[in-house]
Structure formats: structure tokens, C-alpha cells
């Protein structure tokens, strides 16, 4: 196996090796002003589309922004940015991030260098796996790979690094261990089930070192251009109650617009194509709120990550 071979043993590395790598990770991210994690306890809430449009809006205001697609098995950020993953990020002397539109710096598993055309799967191991040859599935440690991306990608000086997590509470746990100075934004849609999952993510974050910026409620209603109103799509109120009880800001309640997903599928930015829509205006306001939070984070954070 020649695809990032050292990743396969990373899950069971000795403690001193992990400490050394942790120090490397901290040093590598020292030039990043604010690390913002966008998380969802359940899938299908539009998190990645929100991430790329927030990144674009911040970049258009002059901020230097990077995105780490932490959904290693189902990366979508590269496609949503309209990038073609033809030139793999070189692994020698660190990992050079992909050059995205608007100066965005991108790290993702589908930009990792390939040594041979074998499919890759990122899993958590109970023990060190044996390499699989003959063109079979190559299994790499999920946490180890994510740690190496954070430690070795040459993001440089950034105002923001947005981390788009894979769905699931365990992902919040994983990133809190790797980057304790990160700040969390939880994205959910209004359903009762999704709200309950979001509550678990907030409860975990409240008991860890990771700070909570707030909640984004996506698909809060259908934005009707003809009648100039937003009509409910799902039962309302569960997320507002959660925000109130958890004493966490409700950052925005974003309406559903089918063009939002269409823009992502085509690799374009909704906030540029449909700037006059209610959704785009709310996304721009959300980016401004995030920028304000980032300014506070950069001013208050100690010189450590």
C-alpha cells in the first residue's frame, strides 16, 4: 500500500508519538485566527452547502478562509466549490491545500495524493489493520487521518478555518479532542428528532472545552417568491425551545429554497447567484455574525490551540 501508509497505524500510536503530533498540530494551526466547526448530529440538514456559502461570503468581505472537509468518507466540499480534484495535494514536506475559488484554501480526503488506484475507506480501528493489497479496499484510520490533515496541511495565515464535520455526535467528540480551542455551530432542521439530536451535541459541547457560538435552523420554512412569505415545512418550535433552555443563541432560521441545493450541485455560490433572495440575505447576515464572533475569538484566545 502506498497511499499515506503511515496513517494506517496512527490510531494505535504510542502516547509520546501522539503528544508530539499534537504539538505539531497546534503549531500548524497557530496562524489561524478562528477555527469554527459546523456540526450536525443528523445528516441531510444542508450543513455543507451552508459552509461553502458562509466561506464565500467571508472571502468576499476580504477575510482569508480555509475549509477542512472532515467528512472523510463522503467529502462534498470540493464538488460544491466547482473544483476538479485532478491535481492531488502533495504529501512531501506537508500537504499543500487545494486552491479554491475566491482564494479559499481547501483540505479534503478526495484531494489526498494517490499512489495506486485502490478505493479508500476511513474507519476507526480497535487494532492495527493489515494492509490489503491486490487493488482491494485500503482502510485508513479515521481519527489519525483527520489529525494528520490538521497537523500537516499548510493553511498558513487565515482569519477563519471552517471545519465541515461528518454527521454524528461522535464527530463533535472527535474534533473537540483534536482542536479544543475550536468553536461550535450546530446546524439542524426543525423536526423534533433532529432537535433532540442537536440537544445531545450541545450537551456534550457544554461539558467539553469547545465553545458554542450558536444554532442555525435550516429549512425553517418554504420561501415563496410569489407571495413574499415563508411558509412552514415542518413542525416549529423545538429548536427555539432548545436554544432557550441551553442558553445558546439562535443565529438564523434559514428558509428552504430549492435553488440552494441546485447551486451546490453545480459548484456555484448561492449567495452570488441569488443575492436578492431572502435566503441569501440571511446567509450574508449569518456570515457577518460569524465574522463578529471570529473577531472576538481572535482577540480573546490565548496563544495556544
* Spatial distance between the Cα atoms of 211 and 209, rounded to a whole number of angstroms: 6
Q: Which of 22, 34, 41 is nearest to 172 (CA)?
A: 41
* Per-residue pLDDT, 115: 46
Q: State pTM to two decimals.
A: 0.85
* Spatial distance between the Cα atoms of 188 and 225, rounded to a whole number of angstroms: 24
Pairing of strands 211-217, 183-188: parallel
Helices (H) and strands (E) in the chain, counts: 10, 12
* Per-residue pLDDT, 194: 83
Residues in the chain predicted with pLDDT less than 50, given as ranges, are 1-9, 87, 115-117, 126-130, 133-134, 304-305
* Per-residue pLDDT, 42: 84
Domains within the chain, CATH numbers bracketed: 5-300 (3.40.50.300)
* Spatial distance between the Cα atoms of 23 and 77, rounded to a whole number of angstroms: 27
* Per-residue pLDDT, 2: 28
* Per-residue pLDDT, 21: 63
Tens digits of residue pLDDT in 11-34: 555 555 555 566 889 899 999 999
Tens digits of residue pLDDT in 139-158: 678 888 899 899 989 999 99
**Contact in structure between 270 and 283 (CB atoms under 8 Å):** yes
| b/e burial code for range 22-42 (CB count within 10 A of at least 16 → b) | beebbebbeebbbbbbbbbbb
Amino acid at each position: 500500500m502506498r497511499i499515506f501508509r503511515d496513517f494506517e497505524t496512527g490510531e494505535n500510536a504510542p502516547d509520546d508519538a501522539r503528544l508530539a503530533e499534537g504539538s505539531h498540530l497546534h503549531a500548524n494551526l497557530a496562524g489561524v485566527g478562528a477555527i469554527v466547526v459546523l456540526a450536525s448530529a443528523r445528516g441531510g440538514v444542508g450543513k455543507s452547502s451552508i459552509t461553502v456559502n458562509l466561506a464565500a461570503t467571508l472571502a468576499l468581505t476580504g477575510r482569508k478562509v480555509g475549509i477542512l472537509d472532515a467528512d472523510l468518507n463522503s467529502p462534498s466540499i470540493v464538488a460544491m466549490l466547482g473544483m476538479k480534484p485532478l491535481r492531488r495535494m502533495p504529501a512531501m514536506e506537508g500537504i499543500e491545500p487545494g486552491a479554491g475559488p475566491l482564494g479559499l484554501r481547501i483540505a479534503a480526503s478526495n484531494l489526498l495524493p494517490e499512489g495506486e488506484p485502490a478505493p479508500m475507506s476511513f474507519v476507526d480501528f480497535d487494532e492495527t489493520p493489515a494492509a490489503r493489497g491486490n487493488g482491494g479496499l485500503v482502510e485508513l484510520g479515521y481519527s489519525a487521518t483527520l489529525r494528520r490533515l490538521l497537523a500537516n496541511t499548510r493553511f498558513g495565515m487565515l482569519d477563519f478555518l471552517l471545519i465541515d464535520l461528518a454527521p454524528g455526535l461522535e464527530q463533535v467528540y472527535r474534533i473537540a479532542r483534536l482542536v479544543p480551542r475550536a468553536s461550535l455551530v450546530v446546524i439542524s432542521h426543525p423536526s423534533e428528532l433532529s432537535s433532540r439530536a442537536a440537544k445531545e451535541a450541545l450537551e456534550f459541547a457544554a461539558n467539553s472545552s469547545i465553545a458554542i457560538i450558536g444554532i442555525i435552523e435550516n429549512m425553517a420554512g418554504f420561501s415563496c417568491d410569489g407571495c413574499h412569505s415563508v411558509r412552514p415545512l415542518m413542525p416549529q418550535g423545538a429548536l427555539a425551545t432548545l436554544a432557550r433552555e441551553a442558553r445558546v443563541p439562535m443565529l438564523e432560521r434559514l428558509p428552504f429554497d430549492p435553488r440552494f441545493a441546485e447551486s451546490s450541485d453545480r459548484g456555484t455560490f448561492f449567495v452570488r447567484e441569488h443575492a436578492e433572495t431572502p435566503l441569501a440575505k440571511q446567509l450574508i447576515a449569518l456570515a457577518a455574525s460569524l465574522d463578529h464572533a471570529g473577531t472576538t475569538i481572535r482577540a480573546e484566545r490565548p496563544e495556544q490551540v
